[in-house]
Amino acid sequence: MSRELSLAEIFQLGYYWETKILLTAVRLDVFSALDGKRKTLPDLAGRLGVHGETLGLLLNALVAMRLLKKEGEFYENAAVAATHLVRSSAQYVGHLLLLHDAEWDNWGKLEQTIRTGKRSVDRHVFETDPDLGGNVLAVLHRIGQQSGPDLAKRLQLRGPVRFLDLGGGAGTNAIAFCQAYPELSATVFDLPATLRLTERTVKDAGLESRIALLPGDFNKDGLGGPYDVALMSDILHYQEFSTNASLVKRVWAQLAPGGRLVIKDRFLNEAGTGPAWTTAFAVHILVNTERGGCYKTADAIQWMADAGFVNVTELEPSAVVQGIKSREV
């Protein structure tokens, strides 16, 4: 059994000041203004067009948080901030932090949501701000490039597989699958706005001849096909249970006999109390989506079984479920 929390840890859990200081600095783009240069407070305030004295308090806190350094009157970026928080850096991750900041007001409505059971948002920030959504997907593509190859290897595919990456985003998985299997050809199905980003990532990977882009709404439009393998990675938690059940049926119809569907998501355990990150993610989905939810592995197994898949198995606990479309259909 895990040990009891200390009082200090309870205080730490309730402490968000530094979070908002960092998010505000990213919004003001403090780190880009200091790119490669040391600056005094008046100089930096002038450059950012903000109030000098108050900016000083923010900068001093950032120094204490080890994101900036201060020597005499001069501020400069710490190495980690220069790498990840300066917009022109190839390893910039600020878009992900800007997403958290854009969701800040929604978190303020959590109490009301719990009291009433009513969601406070009617559209996810990816819909209200598609540019931010695209930028976030690009960051996730860059930092998540290891999970695609691992999944590709685990599936042990052979021959000229026709692969569907449904809601494939930046094409991270389609690219990894093409790189793992030289005979595989992929289709990334996603919303037209997202595919603008996918076009770039696929081109950067030199895979334009093997990855087709299919624009549409996966709940309404034709999905192409037939396919031998379909992947639904991190798309179902944005939707309600019945929509997911219908979508799994639509995918079953587009698979060739003997084909398989792989669902990769953040599943909760049976009690709903783990994995720890996913329990908090479930609350995040509650406050930031109109109908989304974190589901259990058993839910994914049910969607697949109801759609007609056989040999439905959990390939990775709380993460990956696979079902086969029988050859006798």
Ligand X SMILES: C[S@@+](CC[C@H](N)C(=O)[O-])C[C@H]1O[C@@H](n2cnc3c(N)ncnc32)[C@H](O)[C@@H]1O
Does residue 219 touch ligand X according to CB under 6 A?
yes
d(CA 268, CA 283): 12
Q: Which residues within the stretch 155-174 sit at the binding site for ligand X (CB under 6 A)?
A: 167-169, 172-173
Nearer to ligand X, 94 or 169 (CB): 169
- Phi-psi region for residue 36, left (φ > 0), alpha (ψ -120 to 50) or beta? left
Binding mask 7-46 for ligand X (x = CB under 6 A): ----------------------------------------
Closest of 94, 81, 89 to residue 26, by C-alpha: 94
Instruction: Give the CA distances from residue 26 to residues 19, 23, 29, 33, 275, in Å, rounded to whole numbers and listed in that order.
Output: 11, 5, 5, 11, 30
Half-sphere exposure of 192 (CA within 13 A, CB side): 2
Nearer to ligand X, 81 or 195 (CB): 195
Q: What is the DSSP string of 253-274?
A: HHEEEEEEEEEE---B-TTS--
**Total residues contacting ligand X (rule CB under 6 A)?**
17
Q: Which residues within the stretch 283-322 sit at the binding site for ligand X (CB under 6 A)?
A: none
Nearer to ligand X, 172 or 288 (CB): 172
∠ CA 230-231-235, nearest 5°, is 130
Residue with tokens 């592995």: 297
Query: What is the 8-class DSSP label of residue 311?
Result: E
Residue choice 135, 233, 244, 254 for contact with ligand X (CB under 6 A): 233
Binding mask 181-200 for ligand X (x = CB under 6 A): ---------xx--x------
Shortest Å distance, C-beta 167 to ligand X:
3
Does residue 234 touch ligand X according to CB under 6 A?
yes
Shortest Å distance, C-beta 121 to ligand X:
15
Where does this chain bind ligand X (CB under 6 A)?
A: 137, 140, 167-169, 172-173, 190-191, 194, 217-219, 233-235, 238
